[in-house]
């Protein structure tokens, strides 16, 4: 059949391009080895990597494992560390002691009992996170989520990674080309040739000539060369909901090689935005994400340097413009966008890389066998992807809506009803009487944030849900047992898990046990 989809051409490298290449090639490796399918990645030899996507989700563990990547080599070559969640400081009231965790572990017994009403009724005198899971205590004590004897990709606690994006893309490139059969072309893309039906038939390059394809994946970053410029798909901004539009990024060396290494992302709210702080084994990656409508660049830089202290006094700062939003559609004709070409949101909750993973996974699993069915697959892909982007926008906005800060127009404006998506407004009203839990819609197949994530943010930021005494009575014994089991589990993990930096040193020296 002449309309078989057998040649995938990815235009653009970086994290998006190489993750997409790896996920697609791993899924179709047998066909690649048999010569009936190909994945070609074309990238410019001199396009810099944006390189601020240093936080990931736990999904990356299964992604790398399915690609056949050694977790030990990933740590060794990507300056990687463990991530067990995020700590949000000064988001609720702005006070010095205002902080809560969004961990990566589910609450104890989450599928059997909703512990939130029992915590709200005063069953525990600790924070919500500490009452229902062990991970906040693990993070407070600087502990790793596993031991050196734990096999690769397994853990005593759920975890993701912090990584150096500048090292991650070349690491993926080597694996994709040497192990998965991806063809790598270093060349500038010039003319783009269209087919009679409007598809892209081929691209013209300066070094490799004409490269034809059946499916083109646009990973060309913000310029969206294929989907935006060539296919004419517009951009849908969401700056009316998410105000932050600029980031000032800086990298800070440690005082010495044994400096404490946090096992979580730290997000500290400022007057008109927030500062991220990500610990890698050899340095810290930090930056100030802010709204240029509410604060000047000079003042934003002063806030960043005040946070950094003397260590960041003379370090160079890189400015990154954020255009919050996404393409009006993500797959048109035989072109699908992944990564920045599809859109970008402020890096709160590290959603950038997971959107790359989810999109590439869906493409790989739903790979159309013929051009005739591609439009059906594209429709399904667009529906799922639109839903995911919408839910991420809702979840990011939730952090601002729940804030009680009154010290600047930025925080007050974020609570204006006209800036809050309708769906989120309805959920906030619902949660006043019944909070999110396991059996809610948040646990549908294409959901990005589970109900537990909403619980951690809501009750970490002092949201109040009315308590139903009947539910408390019905679940009382099960809830008390789960709370007790969490206390036991917390103490057990606190005593037996190694310090984070100690484990990183051991991985570098000995390696983790292969699966």
Which residues are identified as catalytic? 83
DSSP string, 61-112: HHHHHHTT--HHHHHHHTT-EEE-EEEEESSSS--TT-EEEEESSPPTTTTT
Rounded Cα gap, residues 20 and 300, in angstroms? 35
From residue 414, alpha-carbon distances to 273, 294, 398, 449, 452 in Å are: 11, 11, 10, 21, 24
And the tokens for 389?
A: 């982007």
Contact 338, 359 (CB under 8 A): yes
In the block, residue with structure tokens 């697609």 = 24
Return the number of other C-beta atoms located less than 10 Å from residue 488's C-beta.
11
Backbone φ and ψ for 160, nearest 5 degrees, come out as -125, -155
CA 326 to chain CA centroid, nearest Å: 16
Q: Which residues pair with 8 in a beta bridge?
A: 39, 215
DSSP string, 396-459: HHHHHHT----SSHHHHHTT-GGGS-HHHHHHHHHHTTS---TTSGGGSTT-SS-HHHHHHHHH
Q: Which residues pair with 267 in a beta bridge?
A: 88, 276
For the stretch 299-315, what's the b/e string if a residue is b when 16 or more beta carbons lie within 10 angstroms of its beta carbon? ebbebbbeebeeebeee
Q: What is the DSSP letter of 52?
A: -
DSSP H or E stretch at residue 253: strand 246-253
Contact 238, 345 (CB under 8 A): yes
Q: What is the DSSP letter of 334?
A: T
Rounded Cα gap, residues 215 and 486, in angstroms? 49
Rounded Cα gap, residues 439 and 50, in angstroms? 39
And the tokens for 184?
A: 């790598």
For the stretch 169-188, what's the b/e string if a residue is b when 16 or more beta carbons lie within 10 angstroms of its beta carbon? bebbbebbbeebbbbbbebe
Q: Beta strands 38-43 and 81-83: pairing type?
A: unpaired
Nearest to 180 by CA among 58, 26, 307: 26
């Amino acid at each position: 059949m002449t309309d078989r989809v057998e040649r995938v051409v990815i235009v653009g490298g970086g994290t998006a391009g190489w993750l997409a290449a790896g996920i697609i090639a791993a899924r179709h490796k047998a066909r690649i080895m048999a010569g009936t399918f190909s994945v070609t990645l074309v990238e410019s030899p001199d396009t810099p990597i944006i390189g601020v996507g240093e936080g990931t989700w736990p999904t990356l563990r299964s992604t790398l494992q399915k690609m056949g990547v050694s977790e030990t080599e990933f740590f060794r070559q990507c300056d990687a560390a463990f991530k067990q969640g995020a700590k949000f400081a000064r988001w609720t009231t702005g006070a010095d002691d205002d902080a809560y965790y969004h961990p990566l572990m589910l609450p104890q017994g989450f599928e059997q009992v909703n512990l939130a009403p029992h915590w709200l009724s005063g069953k525990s005198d600790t924070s919500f996170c500490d009452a229902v899971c062990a991970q906040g205590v693990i993070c407070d004590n600087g502990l790793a989520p596993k031991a050196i004897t734990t096999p690769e990709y397994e853990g005593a606690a759920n975890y993701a990674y912090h990584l150096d994006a500048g090292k991650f893309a070349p690491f993926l490139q080597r694996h994709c080309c040497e192990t998965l059969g991806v063809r790598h072309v270093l060349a500038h893309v010039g003319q783009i040739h269209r087919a009679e039906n409007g598809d892209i038939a081929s691209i013209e390059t300066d070094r490799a000539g004409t490269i034809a394809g059946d499916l083109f994946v646009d990973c060309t970053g913000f310029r969206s060369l294929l989907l935006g410029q060539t296919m004419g798909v517009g951009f849908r901004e969401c700056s009316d909901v998410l105000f932050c539009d600029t980031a000032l990024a800086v990298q800070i060396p440690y005082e010495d090689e044994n400096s404490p290494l946090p096992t979580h992302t730290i997000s500290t709210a400022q007057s008109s935005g927030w500062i991220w702080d990500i610990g890698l084994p050899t340095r810290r990656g930090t930056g100030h994400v802010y709204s240029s409508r509410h604060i000047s660049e000079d003042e934003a830089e002063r806030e960043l340097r005040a946070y950094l202290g003397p260590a960041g006094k003379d370090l160079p700062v890189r400015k990154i413009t954020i255009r919050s939003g996404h393409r009006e559609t993500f797959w048109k004709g035989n072109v699908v966008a992944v990564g920045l070409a599809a859109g970008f949101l402020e890096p709160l909750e590290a959603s950038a890389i997971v959107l790359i993973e989810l999109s590439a996974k869906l493409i790989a699993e739903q790979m159309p066998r013929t051009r005739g069915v591609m439009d059906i697959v594209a429709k399904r892909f667009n529906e799922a992807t639109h839903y995911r982007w919408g839910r991420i926008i809702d979840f990011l906005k939730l952090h601002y809506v729940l804030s009680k800060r009154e010290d600047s127009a930025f925080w007050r404006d974020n609570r204006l009803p006209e800036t809050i998506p309708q769906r989120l407004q309805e959920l906030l009203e619902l949660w006043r009487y019944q909070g999110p839990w396991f059996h809610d819609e948040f646990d549908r197949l294409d959901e990005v944030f589970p109900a537990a994530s909403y619980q951690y943010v809501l009750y970490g930021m002092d949201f109040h849900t009315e308590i139903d005494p009947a539910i408390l009575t019905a679940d009382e014994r099960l809830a008390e047992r789960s709370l007790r089991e969490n206390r036991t589990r917390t103490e057990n993990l606190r005593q037996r898990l190694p310090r984070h930096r100690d484990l990183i040193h051991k991985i570098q020296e000995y390696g983790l046990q292969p699966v």
